[in-house]
Structure 1
Amino acid sequence: MNAIILFDVLLLVVLLLIGVPVPLCFAAAVLLLFLVGDFGSASFLVGAGFGQMSSLILVALPLYIIAGNLMGQGGIATRLVGLADAVFGRLHGGLGVVVIMTTAVFGAISGMASSAVAAVGKIMIPRMVERGYDRGYATALVSTSAVLALLIPPSASMIIYGWVSGTSVTASFLAPVLPGVLLVMLFCFWNRVLTRHMPLEKPAQAALPVVVRDIAGQTRRAALGLAMPMIILGCIYGGVTTPTEAAAIAVLYAIPISIWYYRELRFTELHGVLWRAGQTAGTLLVLVFFSAMLARMLTMENVPQMVLEGFLGITENPLLLMLLLNLFLLLIGMFMEDVSGILLATPMLMPLVQALEIDPVQFAAIIATNLGMGLITPPTAPILYFGALVGGSSLSRMLRPTLILLLGAYLPVVLLTTFIPALSLTLPAWVLGYGH
């Protein structure tokens, strides 16, 4: 049976690489194992899939997707860019900082890296090219910064992780925040270094009162959009609502802001936005259904225990095991997007996580940073390919800045998150009293 399981995993990866829709890839893996294995009746597995989907926390996913789509099409990205440009745009290389900050905030609102690439990239990449930035660098910066959506709450990936692992979603939201802030700082540092010799258009200078008025005006325009993640997190951590109820509030908040305040979304267009969000959410829930079935089948075949024994068969050194854990997650992130990676990797790696005495909340940050790094690591790098499509750049022009940002920013954050538990556990302890 071990050979069949290896073939099943290989089939899953090959189908993902050739572009088969992700839910169908997991469905094929389930079907293959069911046909060759002894798992009882199909109704048992289907019941297992539906049983896992009955969790109330999963209702938050489509609601956050709807809220993100509403704010994305409702003009929030444009106003966030305007505010960040007013604050940082007059610095040398300031548009790069604008991209980093905007994608971090918009990623927090949408919860998905691809949404941040689409919304921010369409606005910022042409503007950066006009001001002298290399198109490959501009596209690479947007793509790599968009992965901050996995780390800045409320994150759809952390909802999935909390559901799969049985870990507190509110604590999982907070775990990757400090790694995300550190990543923003390193991105800004490397942006300064990489733009030193670019023929950038000299930033317009203005008197301090003019700058202050500009920032104040842009803040007023973006305030209601910026308030959205604050309202969501305030409701959750203030003990007012659950994450699911906060997601419903986010949708009710986003509709009037997008239609009547920003006035960039017509009421007649609301149906289209909800339909597209429903398609995304429906696809995601089908993926959750089949992944729950696959996880049950792999558990019945003792695959998590086999993974643990396989790692321990290589080495029993805790330091090397932590590095192997990161490498395993990075490889998964290279072949599939974050939600699929979490659904597949979490149940498989939990025995190893427990053996290494890693706190499950710290593992939330470890898995988020590693899968995020995998999304932008060549040769597969799904977010880089999407960014190249949005930015009209070739991957070869994006490769050098991407590798510098990976090795000089992302890799250090991954290692620090892995080996310094306080980086991911401090905020949950302060805010929630976690671990006390």
Structure 2
Amino acid sequence: MVSTTLFGVFLLLVLLGAPVAICLGVSSLIVLEYLPGTPNITLLAKSAVMGGNSFPLVAIPLFVLAGEVMQRGGLSTRIVGAAYSLVGHFKAGLAYVNVLASMFFAAISGSSPATVAAIGSNMIPEMERVGYKRPFSAALTAAAGITGVMIPPSIPLIIYGVTANQSIGKLFLAGIIPGLMFGLGYMLVAKMTINNHLTPASRVSQKMVQAIEGNQKQQQGGWRQHSIWALIVPVIILGGIYGGIFTPTEAAGVAVVYALFVSLFIYRDLKISDLNSVFLKAGLTSATVLVMVVMASSFGRLLTLERVPMEVANFITTVSENPLLVLLLINIMLLIVGMFMETIASIIILTPILLPIVQTMGIDPVHFGVIMTVNLAIGFCTPPLGANLFVATGVANVSLEELVKSILPFLLAMVVMLMMVTFIPQLSLFLPSILL
């Protein structure tokens, strides 16, 4: 009765369009207040306090702020320029630039929608100018944006680490190879389908490419000399963490200070007068995430008291005790969940349910964290939730129908690479095993 009411109220509120944090909190409150045999309502307050009392969670608002400062401070523009210098002259070169720039920015912001907004606003107009169809450019940007939740610093990996009590440093390392693999996969899809996504009168002539390069040089004021200030951010963050200089949370603080210094005093694209709006936007984003974390704590506590994880585990093991088949079933479930629920809320709710199942089958919790994150990241590119899709439609000014049609080849590639991440554990565990 408790579990049915809890999930029933939650789903009803979701269908009514309430924010996920409110859905989690209100459903827990109703169960504790009105159903007999449940703990005292003070459980809600205690669980909320315990859920928010975590030092690693401090990294989330700091990384969000660092990403916002870098987006407003001109670092994303320099990253695009640096990517262009590396791969811009190949066939499908601008598509490669889009993907590579997204991966660079993902290693700074840790946010998938932020990556789409920052890189899309720079790349989609440039790609259209040289003959790429706008829906393809938007689809590529939306797909490449999900590397933001794999390549560290990843906010969903931080949430998983806190929820599953796993090392965030190990999770960051585990996400690097899958993130790079997804980026290379997108480049391959772009190369194979490029001729279908160019306007009939254009095949991206060398003259056009040279015109773009000259335009970028003029706009960016010599990015060849200055893009290093933007690209050094991931080196500072990851080098500091794995060199034992500071923790992931402290690394987030260092990233904020560095981003402010570069944006204000080196690039000078960010003004003191802009800081109010930067802090406000970062604060709103952080508050949304952290309220969700706090509210999900009491929700998860009720699930545990009602033995829901045990019931789900028993159900799955009755279907099969084969670890490969169990992982396949979990993948299918997570893909469906990712279509309808926000990534962070899904991680907080489902980790206590699914982690005991995979641990009993000998699956490494760090590997499973990457599996869960990749699964739910694909939800950024699938309707009806599809946060990346909606960001890309706004940036590119294309219809959702056009965008979904263009992103289908990339979704197929995502599923193939998801299976590789799931069934080849060393893709996730190789770096943690040799570096830690």
Question: TM-score, length-normalised on structure 1?
Answer: 0.92
Q: Deviations over 1:168-199 (max 9, x none)?
A: 00001111211111111111011011112423
Partner of 1:221: 226
Aligned: 1:319 with 2:324: yes
Answer yes or no: is the 8 Å Cα contact 2:150–2:373 preserved in 1.
yes
Q: Distance in 1 between matches of 2:14 and 2:147?
A: 23
> Kindly tell me: are residues 51 and 73 of structure 1, through their superposed partners in 2, closer, same or farther at Cα, counting changes over 3 Å?
same
Once the two structures are TM-superposed, the CA of residue 267 in structure 1 deviates from its matched residue by 0.9
Answer yes or no: is the 8 Å Cα contact 2:340–2:384 preserved in 1.
no
Answer yes or no: is the 8 Å Cα contact 2:342–2:385 preserved in 1.
no
1:229-378 matches, cutoff 5 A: 229-378=234-383
> Kindly tell me: are residues 17 and 106 of structure 1, through their superposed partners in 2, closer, same or farther at Cα, counting changes over 3 Å?
farther
Once the two structures are TM-superposed, the CA of residue 341 in structure 1 deviates from its matched residue by 1.6
Aligned: 1:426 with 2:425: no
Q: Distance in 1 between matches of 2:205 and 2:15?
A: 43
Partner of 2:10: 12
Residue identity opposite 1:413 in structure 2: M
1:63-74 matches, cutoff 5 A: 63-74=62-73
Q: Distance in 2 between matches of 1:352 and 1:329?
A: 14
1:37-48 matches, cutoff 5 A: 38-48=37-47
Q: 1:25 aligns with which of 6, 23, 26?
A: 23
- Any idea what SS the aligned residue of 2:234 has? helix
Partner of 2:35: 36
Answer yes or no: is the 8 Å Cα contact 2:29–2:41 preserved in 1.
no
Residue identity opposite 2:84 in structure 1: D
Q: Distance in 2 between matches of 1:232 and 1:185?
A: 23
Aligned: 1:417 with 2:421: yes
Once the two structures are TM-superposed, the CA of residue 240 in structure 1 deviates from its matched residue by 0.7
Residue identity opposite 2:30 in structure 1: L
Partner of 1:201: 204
Aligned length: 424
- Greater alpha carbon shift after TM alignment, 145-154 vs 33-42: 33-42
Residue identity opposite 1:16 in structure 2: V
> Kindly tell me: are residues 100 and 7 of structure 1, through their superposed partners in 2, closer, same or farther at Cα, counting changes over 3 Å?
farther
Partner of 2:58: 59
Answer yes or no: is the 8 Å Cα contact 1:114–1:383 preserved in 2.
yes
1:154-165 matches, cutoff 5 A: 154-165=153-164
Once the two structures are TM-superposed, the CA of residue 43 in structure 1 deviates from its matched residue by 1.8
- Any idea what SS the aligned residue of 2:131 has? coil
Q: Distance in 1 between matches of 2:286 and 2:298?
A: 19
Q: Deviations over 1:32-71 (max 9, x none)?
A: 3223253322223311221121111111111111111111
Question: TM-score, length-normalised on structure 2?
Answer: 0.92
Report percent identity of matched pairs. Answer: 36
Aligned Cα root-mean-square deviation (Å): 2.1
Answer yes or no: is the 8 Å Cα contact 2:14–2:23 preserved in 1.
yes
Answer yes or no: is the 8 Å Cα contact 1:72–1:119 preserved in 2.
yes
- Greater alpha carbon shift after TM alignment, 322-331 vs 79-88: 79-88
Q: Distance in 1 between matches of 2:77 and 2:183?
A: 20
> Kindly tell me: are residues 83 and 17 of structure 1, through their superposed partners in 2, closer, same or farther at Cα, counting changes over 3 Å?
farther
Q: Return 5+ residue gaps in structure 1 as ranges.
A: none
